[in-house]
Amino acid sequence: MKRNKSILVLLLLIIVVSVFAAGCGNNAANTNATSETENTTSETSDNGTNVINNSAETTDTVKEEDTSTVTETPDVDSAESTEDSTGVIVSEAEGPLAINYEAEPDAFIGNWVLVSAYSVDDGMLEVVPDACYLEIEKSIDENKLVDETAYIHADAVNLKGTMSFDLPDVSVDDYSCSGSWDNWSIVDVQGEGKAYYKGAIKFKIRDDDEGVFFEVITGIEIEDMELLNVLGINEEGNLILGYSEDNIVKDGSAEWEYAYIFSQK
């Protein structure tokens, strides 16, 4: 009987120990699971923080990139001058050879007498006194189509004249001369009935191949001399009739090859 009781006590003790051991194992498992969960949460939080930080860095980068693409507005004072686009022509020559590109047709009108000459190789030249004369007047083409694109009409101002010589050994008829309205340095069409002309003008002398007696008048021979073909007014108000290999009518930097200079009588 006592033996049976001992066996029963031993069984109960084994059962209690087993139950206690099982309970401890479950607690340990729960503790580990909780710890892992917390670690996972912590890592997630850390990762979330990193994402925010990365976003902030990305924002800073975008801001830096935006700043680098801003184009500054240039200072107006540093812009290139637009004076060349105004149509104003300025002669680079000096003295009696400088064309006044603001001269209007009325400045050409009158009777002129030759007072000096010029060649690019010899400079200013003396001339036989009163050897050559020019008489210039205006010729108006009324209500001329002066701007075909805009279909604008206005009075067109031409020049015409005569050239004569008073030399002992020269006997020629007077030469006729002319310059057309569309060959002025500046033709300023401002509207219907409003057109203005300035500067020099291409000028044709009809001389019957006699020439303008440059050697006789100046004592200087010029080989293969071309006809004088440009008429202008210099800064002193004198008349220049000369020849240029360049387009001196439109180009203030062009040079005369040779010229006659006239003073008004």
pLDDT of 67 above 70: no
For 114, residues 6+ apart whose C-beta sits below 8 A from its C-beta are 127, 130, 131, 132, 133, 134, 217, 260, 261, 262
pLDDT of 76 above 50: no
For 118, residues 6+ apart whose C-beta sits below 8 A from its C-beta are 96, 97, 124, 125, 242, 256, 258, 259, 261
The pLDDT tens digits of the residues spanning 183-196 come to 999 999 999 999 99
Average model confidence (pLDDT) for the chain?
79
Q: What is the pLDDT of residue 93?
A: 86
Q: Compute the average pLDDT of residues 50-55.
A: 40
For 172, residues 6+ apart whose C-beta sits below 8 A from its C-beta are 165, 207, 208, 210
Q: How far apart are CA 236 and CA 222, in angstroms?
A: 27
> Under DSSP, is residue 96 helix (H, G, I), strand (E, B) or coil?
helix
Q: Compute the average pLDDT of residues 128-134.
A: 98
Residue with the larger pLDDT of the pair 15 and 231: 231
The pLDDT tens digits of the residues spanning 2-12 come to 455 566 556 66
Q: What is the pLDDT of residue 213?
A: 96
Q: Compute the average pLDDT of residues 161-169.
A: 95
pLDDT of 118 above 50: yes
Confidence category of residue 79, pLDDT binned at 50, 70, 90: very low
Q: Compute the average pLDDT of residues 150-175.
A: 96
Q: Compute the average pLDDT of residues 243-256.
A: 96
Q: What is the pLDDT of residue 85?
A: 43
* Structural domain boundaries in the chain: 1-70, 84-264
pLDDT of 259 above 80: yes
Q: Compute the average pLDDT of residues 214-218.
A: 97
Task: Give alpha helix (H) positions in 106-235.
Answer: 214-218
Place of tokens 């006809």: 227
Confidence category of residue 13, pLDDT binned at 50, 70, 90: low
Pair 127, 115: CB distance under 8 Å: yes
- What is the DSSP-derived secondary structure letter of residue 130? T
Q: What is the pLDDT of residue 94?
A: 84
Nearest to 259 by CA among 228, 237, 223, 233: 228
pLDDT of 74 above 60: no
Confidence category of residue 143, pLDDT binned at 50, 70, 90: very high
Token pair belonging to 212: 């303008």
Q: What is the pLDDT of residue 6?
A: 60
Neighbours of 111 (CB within 10 A): 13
Q: What is the pLDDT of residue 114?
A: 98
Q: Which residues of 28-56 are buried (b: 16+ CB within 10 A; e: fewer)?
A: eeeeeeeeeeeeeeeeeeeeeeeeeeeee
Q: How far apart are CA 41 and CA 46, in angstroms?
A: 8
Q: Compute the average pLDDT of residues 213-231.
A: 95
pLDDT of 73 above 50: no
Confidence category of residue 135, pLDDT binned at 50, 70, 90: very high
Pair 133, 115: CB distance under 8 Å: no
